[in-house]
Amino acid sequence: MESVRLGRASGAPRRVPDAVLVRFACQARVRSLGEGPAPAPVRLGPARRSSLTRAEYVAAVEVVLEHIRAGDCYQVNLTRTLEWDAAPDPVAMFLALAARRPAPHATLLRLPAAGDLLAIVGASPERFLAWDGDAVETRPIKGTAAHPAALEHSAKDRAENVMIVDLARNDLGRVCTPGTIHVPALCAVERHPGLAHLVSTVRGRLRPDVGVGELLRATLPPASVTGAPKPSVLQIIEDLETVPRGVYCGATGWIDTRRRRGDLAVAIRSFTVARGRTTLGVGGGIVADSDPEREWDETCLKARRLLARTGASDATMAVDVDEGPVEVLTR
Q: Which residues are catalytic?
A: 126, 142
DSSP letter, residue 147: S
Gap between the Cα atoms of 289 and 216, Å rounded: 32
Whole-angstrom distance, CA of residue 325 vs CA of residue 322: 10
Reference 175, options 220, 117, 140; nearest CA is 220
* DSSP state, residue 287: -
Q: Closest by alpha carbon to 267, among 253, 282, 291, 249? A: 249
DSSP letter for each residue of 167-197: HHHHHHHTTBPTT--EEEEEEEEEEETTEEE
> CB–CB of 97/305 below 8 Å?
no
